[in-house]
Amino acid sequence: MRQRRDAFSSTERVEREVERLAAAQHGVISRRQAVGGGATRAFIERRVASGRWLTLFPRVYRMAGAPRSWRQQVMAACLACGDAAAASHRCAGALVALPGLEKGTAEISVPRRRHIERRGIVVHRVAELARADVTRIDGIPSTTVTRTLIDLAGILARDDLEEVLDDALRRRITSVSRLRSRIDALSRRGRPGIGVIDALVRARAGVGAVPESVLETRLTQLLRKAGLPRPVAQYPVRDGGRVIARVDLGYPERRLAIEADGYRWHSSRVSWDRDIERRNRLTASGWRVVHVTWSDVEDRPGEVVERVRRALTL
């Protein structure tokens, strides 16, 4: 009787430990982790057979009561790929909500020496994943934002890369100095896209600010491609040493401000009144203002370029 009680007590302890591990990993656990928590082969097989554990990948299980989610799938994919695996590329970008990166198929980086293929997972075999390049995001092993941007340089178009770069810098989840450091360390390996990300980062070195929105980044790209001078992002307009306004994009030598008006522009009467007051201060200081919206950039890019070109010649 006592042996039975002890066995039951032991099973309860293992159950609690396994549940604790799974709870910290979006409801999933690997066979190796379960064994490390005290589970036996019979313990695992009984739970799989009864439907209490559901197999997501070979040797990776979801607790039946755990709600499904994209992050759970990414966590399970990391466990399926073994030690030193980490979410990367578009998947790592989506984990930190970089613009334009959807929560799609799990992309996982593993050391190049390992040959892993898993249905439903995009596996990237990389030369190395240094400790400096790996972190945890919501409990999920992932490349850092800095490493993610360098990886994305090899698969994204330049304009899309510029958008995610500016977003990361704007949110201060990376920095120019960190990017330069890792680019220097990784460029010796001849990585795809390293020249593109290096040029974009160098262009932002010493710059006081980056565009405050994806719309501002796209507008800057549009003007640059049209051969117009690159405007200064978030330029502070001063009057007598006092900052009277900060314009989205500016050409200080022409006293020309370009305001990128996104979806939330004038979302209330208070913001409308504030904008009118700000515009009056700019006008009184001799500045002209050109307003550009999302639909202008998306549907009428040629008109936007000509509007700015004419304003620069006045």
CATH number reported for the structural domain that contains residue 256 in this entry: 3.40.960.10
Is 1 a domain residue? no
Q: Looking at the structure, do residues 194 and 75 belong to the same domain, yes or no? A: yes
- Range of 21's domain? 7-63
Contacts of 76-80 with C-beta under 8 Å, sequence gap 24+, read: 76/26, 76/28, 77/106, 77/108, 77/118, 77/120, 77/121, 78/106, 78/108, 78/140, 78/141, 79/25, 79/28, 79/29, 79/30, 79/33, 80/30, 80/56, 80/118, 80/121
- Number of structural domains (the chain) is 3
Cα-trace Rg, the chain: 26
Q: Looking at the structure, do residues 119 and 167 belong to the same domain, yes or no? A: yes
**295: its two tokens:** 């639909």
Q: Looking at the structure, do residues 23 and 89 belong to the same domain, yes or no? A: no
Is 222 a domain residue? yes
pLDDT in tens, 200-259: 999 888 666 788 888 999 999 999 999 999 999 989 999 888 898 889 999 999 999 999
Other C-beta atoms lying within 10 Å of the C-beta of residue 187: 14
Is 106 a domain residue? yes
Is 44 a domain residue? yes
Q: Looking at the structure, do residues 145 and 227 belong to the same domain, yes or no? A: no
Q: Give the percent of the chain with pLDDT over 70.
A: 92
Is 209 a domain residue? no
Is 198 a domain residue? yes
Q: Looking at the structure, do residues 108 and 187 belong to the same domain, yes or no? A: yes
Is 240 a domain residue? yes
Q: Looking at the structure, do residues 59 and 92 belong to the same domain, yes or no? A: no
**290: its two tokens:** 């050109």
Is 108 a domain residue? yes
From 146, 180, 204, give the residue that closes a domain.
204
Q: Looking at the structure, do residues 230 and 165 belong to the same domain, yes or no? A: no
Q: Looking at the structure, do residues 14 and 52 belong to the same domain, yes or no? A: yes
From 63, 83, 104, give the residue that closes a domain.
63
pLDDT at 204: 85
**265: its two tokens:** 């522009």
Q: Compute the distance between CA of residue 87 and CA of residue 143 in angstroms, rounded to an integer.
A: 6
H or E segment and range at residue 189: none
Q: Compute the distance between CA of residue 186 and CA of residue 169 in angstroms, rounded to an integer.
A: 20
Q: Compute the distance between CA of residue 200 and CA of residue 221 in angstroms, rounded to an integer.
A: 12
Q: Looking at the structure, do residues 76 and 57 belong to the same domain, yes or no? A: no
Q: Looking at the structure, do residues 172 and 94 belong to the same domain, yes or no? A: yes
Q: Looking at the structure, do residues 248 and 171 belong to the same domain, yes or no? A: no
pLDDT in tens, 267-304: 455 666 677 788 888 888 899 999 999 899 999 999 99
Please tell me whether the overall predicted TM-score, pTM, comes out greater than 0.95 for this model.
Answer: no
Residue with the bigger pLDDT between 272 and 309: it is 309
Find out whether 84 and 110 touch, Cβ atoms under 8 Å: yes
Q: Looking at the structure, do residues 101 and 22 belong to the same domain, yes or no? A: no
From 177, 204, 231, give the residue that closes a domain.
204
pLDDT at 5: 46
Question: Given the DSSP bridges, would you call strands 288-293 and 53-57 parallel, antiparallel or unpaired?
Answer: unpaired
